[in-house]
Structure 1
Amino acid sequence: MDRVKTRAGRRRALRALAALAAEAAIPLTYVAPARAVTAVTQGSPPPRARARMITDLIGTNGWAGSSADIEMWRAMGISWGRGSVGPGQPDRRGEIMRIDRTGSAFDGDLPSVLIRNERNGINSLLLLGYTPKWNASVPGDSNSAPVDVDAWTQYVEAVVRKYSAPPYNLRYFQIWNEAAGKLSGGLPQATFWHGPDFSRDEKRSKPYPRAMQDYVERIHIPAARIIRRYHAYVVYGGWPDQGGLDNFRQWLEYRSPASNQRMLDWVDYIDTHYLPVSDFESLYQQYVKNGPARGIWQTEIGNEYMKDPHYLPRYFFDLAVWALGRNWDDPDKYVSMIYHWDGYEPFRLTHRGPPARTYNVSGRSLIVLRQTAGGQLASFPKQVQGGPGVAVNTLLSGNDLVMQVRAPAGWQTVAIPGLASMRSGAARADFIDALSGDASAADDVAVSWDNDLMKVRFRVPDEVNGDSHDEQKGEGGKPGSHAPNHLAYLVVRGAAQRVA
């Protein structure tokens, strides 16, 4: 999928996330270092035995703040939230440590949020970070390594001990956010991991030579040992899209001289940010297919990409199709979290009001996706062929064959093998707008047969729901010569039970 956000917009998003957990707390009380433990996978329960659902994949940054918000999350299929925990000891050593607050200004009550999530079937991911300024190795910089590592581990211990236990029962904890060194995108230091010679003026910043070693030895492995000791799972802190996958592999496979262990040995879920689904394949083949990682997450997607109204429905449909072919044996194996579900920009999932919260087009597109592909998911074993200019992706949902199609205006066709057993009946197909959920008139969809090949002819409206921000780009990211496409679902009812 095309990357449409600007570098300046990306930096704004990163700074916004920094506020979510800025100057996170460090508890005072000393806790003995964690004992060596076996991998959490050895003592963990078997995966939940149920079919995969589209909602398993969908999460968001932030929390639902009310019962009305919860209902909107359910309508959009959101089953995960992600947020900060603090404020701890932000000002000085010796303060009473607090880990009961959340939000950009730590003005939200975290325990009540987590209990509400638990009661409503929403999973919660807590982000562990950062360094309080009084303990920062770069003076005054909360995105630098702690001087006193014990203070960091005490914070992690307090959070995981409290929230992994009843009534919260959290199983997933994320260590830091976007720690990296020099980025392939050009920055000498990562936005959330600073060392000597860092400057807010990018032109004056110099590389951080020990970035990888300091993160692995002072942040990641100490925190991961604690998380696994409480039989919980380690989510990597989210590799930034500008970091480059080759650099990410170097970090994952870095072996600490101090412990003779790789960071990868202490990662349960590999996590990236703002990447297309196609980039997951190499990570899956190398680290998930045969271990040691349990799955692949993206704890941030969306943001300015959502200016393209096709982005979210395409992303999650692509992710579902990809996951179904990659041993999706645990509902938590593949998760992506939208940044952000709430705001004032027109591309967020919802507009917070006043007077009342309403859905934006991106939020409505998730509702349509959940309603259209809301059944138990399975791969469609045949190759569907789109006519000229028609792109198609397919899966089975409940009893239906669901095809996500992108096509220009006018009459279009797809050809579907494997459904010859439906020739004897009256096969029915619906054409549904992927953004509004509106179904076309019956006269605008027709099913015919060419021997054993089902052909569905459908009329794409003249006013398509795509625009110049969608995938039609030319060289250098400039608008291409193609007409904008319409995004829709073509659904063959009852096809799942008739596939041969």
Structure 2
Amino acid sequence: MCGGGMAFGVRRGRRQVLRVLAALAGSGLQSARAAEQGAAPVAARPKTGARMITQMIGANGWASAPGDVAMWKDMGITWGRDVVGPGQGESASSIMDVDKTSPTYISDLPPAILANNRNGIHSLLLLGFTPWWNATVPKDSKSAPKDVRAWERYVEAAVRKYSAPPYNVKYFQVWNEAAGKLSGGLPQATFWHGPDDDGKLDRPYERAMQDYVERIHIPAARIIRKYKAYVVYGGWPDQGGLDTFTQWIEYRSPTLNERMLDCVDYLDFHYLNVDDLSPIYDKYVKNGPARGIWQTEIGDRFIIDPFYLPRYFFDFAVWALERNWDDPDKYVSMVYHWDGYEPFRLTHRGPPRTYNVSGKSLVVLRKTLPGALAPLAASLKFSEDASGSALYSGSDIVVQVSASTGWRTVEINTGSTPASGQASVAFIDALTGVAAAAQDAQATWNGSTLSVRFKVPLVMNGAERKTPAHLAYLVVRSKA
């Protein structure tokens, strides 16, 4: 069984597609160990309590300096993700090192995890990859290990250390974006390579699925569950196709006689739209066996569209509230990447570090949705050239609206009327947080229908998009 005893071995630069998709930016397109094996399983976090927008916002990397932590909190980021390693870098007799992180293993991991714990940030540790000396494809760290026992030693060392106090990490991701031939046309996945006749990677990796399941995923999942921690799937790439994902996740190893699906707690995808997650929820989460759906990489060049992140997370919250968001860890998405020099990252590295438009939009989102979230069981009827969705934040109705210049309206049939029969409304720019003048937004009740009239400015915050529009929040508060 995947959750049973010790695992046993089987003894024998960013993706090109995002550069293409960058050209479409603006079109709305879219990372205490139980001392005894028999100890009771841990809980992710209490299932009771309020659902907050911050619970689903994460970023790749760690916030190290106090100023960085402050900016993460301002943006509502409560999850971080990075690799642990490097393991046994030179040979099977090398000292095991799982105290480093970052893509080049130049940063110390233990203080990063402890800082996360102090600051209320949850850590996801990515387990990967293959040391050069053990690689099936010579010196290729993204290929399967020749000796699975070396992979198991690395996973065991990392999970044993970081699932225990004082780190108490409970989420471990197995590899990254392993797949076979991609729907976009590439013969092999960026992070999962197999040999071919001439040693190149320009032909399909015929054993991609079986090798990954038997040599990487199931051995790692058994170890992770032995330490009462949770298995996060290795981030299915958007170019892999969801039909192919189903073939992979339901694949039963003829050697181990287990499905990968039964060795996963949280399904994980990269760069999908929120709507793409619905069939995955229906098939694998609604009635199990998976506990939830994550996206450990979203954004990147998609964020060239300044509406991408605020739209994504608002839609994700509305979507989650309609799909039994009973556990605060059930639905998480992590921005790739939170810092850098490109203008579409959350922050500009500096010094001093400053917010880019995308980072500021998360600050606005967090401040606009400060309360417990709840679904708004009401129909929305927008006027011409306006659209959006809505939810409750505390007792406030919050509508995220995209509209063109001029006076627009939305009617919200809530089914009830507040005792006072009065409401106030604020019209807030989704990118800057600037509120419009009071006379530019009014709300009136007509029976159980709330009518909101608002003026979209002449200079729209999405004027440079392929389809120009203004993205804003209508925050409606009933008067006592």
Partner of 1:30: none
Indicate the SS of the match to 2:391. Answer: strand
Partner of 1:176: 175
Structure 1 unaligned residues grouped into runs of 5+: 13-20, 22-36, 473-483
Q: How does 1:313-328 map to 2 (within 5 A)?
A: 313-328=310-325
Partner of 2:430: 434
Matched AA of 1:111: P
How far apart, CA to CA, are the structure 1 residues paired with 2:221 and 2:314? 32
Structure 1 residues 388 and 428 mapped into 2: Cα distance closer, same or farther (>3 Å)?
A: same
How far apart, CA to CA, are the structure 2 residues paired with 1:198 and 1:345? 40
Runs of 4+ with >4 A deviation: 40-46, 198-201
Indicate the SS of the match to 1:99. Answer: strand
How far apart are residue 7 of structure 1 and its match? Answer: 1.9
How far apart are residue 423 of structure 1 and its match? Answer: 7.2
For the Cα contact (< 8 Å) 2:88–2:154, is it kept in 1?
Answer: no
Partner of 2:60: 61
How far apart are residue 43 of structure 1 and its match? Answer: 6.2
For the Cα contact (< 8 Å) 1:199–1:205, is it kept in 2?
Answer: no
Q: 1:7 aligns with which of 5, 13, 17?
A: 17
1:407-464 residue CA offsets vs partner (Å, 9 max, x unmatched): 0011000001126523744310010000000000011012234454221110000111
Indicate the SS of the match to 1:272. Answer: strand
1:25-81 residue CA offsets vs partner (Å, 9 max, x unmatched): xxxxxxxxxxxx89x996647734211000000000000011111110000000000
Matched AA of 2:389: N
How far apart, CA to CA, are the structure 1 residues paired with 2:292 and 2:40? 12
Aligned residues: 453
Q: 1:280 aligns with which of 277, 282, 290?
A: 277
Structure 2 unaligned residues grouped into runs of 5+: 1-14, 23-30, 32-36
Matched AA of 2:477: R
Matched AA of 1:170: V
1:174-229 residue CA offsets vs partner (Å, 9 max, x unmatched): 0000000011111110000000129998xx70111100000000000000000000
| Match status 1:243 vs 2:237 | no
| Match status 1:122 vs 2:140 | no
Partner of 1:218: 215
| Match status 1:101 vs 2:100 | yes
Name the % identity: 61
For the Cα contact (< 8 Å) 1:189–1:198, is it kept in 2?
Answer: no
Q: 2:265 aligns with which of 263, 268, 272?
A: 268
Partner of 2:151: 152
For the Cα contact (< 8 Å) 1:145–1:195, is it kept in 2?
Answer: yes
How far apart are residue 493 of structure 1 and its match? Answer: 1.1
Structure 1 residues 45 and 71 mapped into 2: Cα distance closer, same or farther (>3 Å)?
A: closer
Matched AA of 1:401: I
For the Cα contact (< 8 Å) 2:417–2:447, is it kept in 1?
Answer: no
For the Cα contact (< 8 Å) 1:60–1:338, is it kept in 2?
Answer: yes
Give the aligned CA root-mean-square deviation in angstroms: 2.2
Q: How does 1:18-37 map to 2 (within 5 A)?
A: none
Structure 1 residues 383 and 200 mapped into 2: Cα distance closer, same or farther (>3 Å)?
A: farther
Indicate the SS of the match to 2:365. Answer: helix
How far apart are residue 105 of structure 1 and its match? Answer: 2.1
Partner of 1:488: 472
Structure 1 residues 11 and 172 mapped into 2: Cα distance closer, same or farther (>3 Å)?
A: farther
- TM-score, normalised via structure 1 length: 0.87
How far apart, CA to CA, are the structure 2 residues paired with 1:120 and 1:161? 23
For the Cα contact (< 8 Å) 2:337–2:346, is it kept in 1?
Answer: yes
* Higher relative contact order structure (alpha carbons within 8 Å, sequence separation ≥ 6): 2
Which range moves more in the overlay, 41-50 or 164-173? Answer: 41-50
Matched AA of 2:425: A
1:462-487 residue CA offsets vs partner (Å, 9 max, x unmatched): 111114446x3xxxxxxxxxxx1100
How far apart, CA to CA, are the structure 2 residues paired with 1:377 and 1:198? 55
Partner of 2:4: none
Partner of 2:394: 398
